A and B are shown apart, each in its own frame.
Chain A
Amino acid sequence: MTLRDKAAVVGVGATRYYKRGQSLPQTPFEMAGKATLAALDDAGLTVDDVDGFALYSFGLGGDTSLFAQVLGVPEVRFTAQLTGGGGGAAGSVGLAAAAIASGMAECVVSLMTLQQVANRFGTSYAPKKKGQPRGQYSAPSTPEGNFIQPSGLVGPGQMFAVLAQRHMYLYGTKREHFAEIAISTRENARRRETALMRDELTLDDYFNARMIAEPLCLYDFCLECDGAVAVVTTTAERAHDLRHPPVYVRASAHGGHGRWGQAITWMGMPDDEFASSGHRPVAKRLYEMAGCGPEDIDVALLYDHFSPMVLMQLEDYGFCAIGEGGPFVESGAIRWPTGSLPVNTHGGNLSEAYIIGMTHVKEAVEQIRGTAVNQVEGAELALATGGPASIPTSGLILAKEPYS
């Protein structure tokens, strides 16, 4: 039993993307509805066809009851979400495919909606002041968090900086390598109307930018955004009759080694994968299910909350050897359209928009359809990822043709 090509993505939709707070007075729920209706329309389907939801990272607050009620879904037959956070982005489509392959549902919506007003992810792990309710800059104190927070680590970017520092120490990775990821991603965003950051980014700009948490500067950090993205997945058979050619779910995997665990909010990961994205076991299973290897991937949409984590995913997905991510990007390999593996052709979380990784799935679909703004010529296999994060991280391979 395998998921391979049992399901296909048939619709993608999104609101426009906003800088943090600028989506008001819309609500996140409303944006989720708009993106879902857009994705169904893209597929040539309606709400009457929907019978499932496969979410992640507490999209819709982790509950679909009101959404189904308000949109008038005739019957919900599957509703679930991956545990964890942004690591589940790509994997939520795998969850949809699992529901479809098992026969539990036939037309499943995955989505993320985000409005960073009440909370800002940049300080997700800041301790709350005594006697204060949780606010924009605070999180509940936990027995495990007590072993991290007093050190001054209060945000994910600071925590991933610790992993990046170790990678530099072990392998000689340089800030110029992180800069190449930020700059190549920006170049891709510059050609896209949907992107929030379209000004040229030079190496001088990068090195003159303020340092946030060494070795990460401003441009190593993703954007803080509002918006929603939805993806509709159905059976491979039904996909043939819809508006676009099917985009097959060739493979999806999520999870990670147990002792990767809470990862950055723990810092106790095994020594041999501390300076990694945590994706290695997911990548292995993903390629096994897909029946392909990294050399077969035409375009990679790698979750880029922080630029060093793109570099580590390039290693962990086998596009280069462990520790060789720096020289690999330095060679121009990830540039569109000239590189051997164009990465984040949509401008990523770094320069297009941060909707917790769902823009990567949307771009993977458009690349396979052949309709991407920065189209990789002849793209047949696209990789999209979610995380690096605590367990689960996830991966998804989308395909133009069924496996043969």
Chain B
Amino acid sequence: MMRKTLFIVAVALATPAAAQLRLPHIIRRPGQPQPLPPAQVQPGLQQPIGVLRTDFATQAGGTTAYFMSGSAELSPQARTVLSGQSAWLRLHPEVSVRIEGHGDSNDTRDHALALGARRAEEVRNYLMLLGVPAAQVSAMSWGKERPGAPRAVTVIVPSGGPAGVAAGGQP
């Protein structure tokens, strides 16, 4: 089962020892998108986003990477979460995600915006390093508009929807 193999590869990468990460080779997929497991396809046709989000949150082991205050550096725990996310995303190449970076609540408005963008960018880069295609992942910052812990949340977005916000901030 190709699905299982991929998962094992991703988990191996997820261990903290992944400090000396090698770039995983990009897995070329067949032209047509992989079908979802039947159990998910049936309701998925009606409310695909809700089902996908639930599946992502449970299968990937979490939607959120947490950061130290003032920092955009990925902790070992955050890397573990992102490895789980990358495994799921590689199994669902038809699903687009947006990384929503958040600044610190006690920061000033504009520095928080920039720091949130840095965190989102850091997460996006790490997912790409783990083999998730760049086009599948966009990034944005909420600054301190959504109070909470310093974090970056991976959010599944409707296909063809506002996920189209260019990732990485290229003009």
Check if A and B associate: no
Interface residue ranges, B against A (CB under 8 Å): none
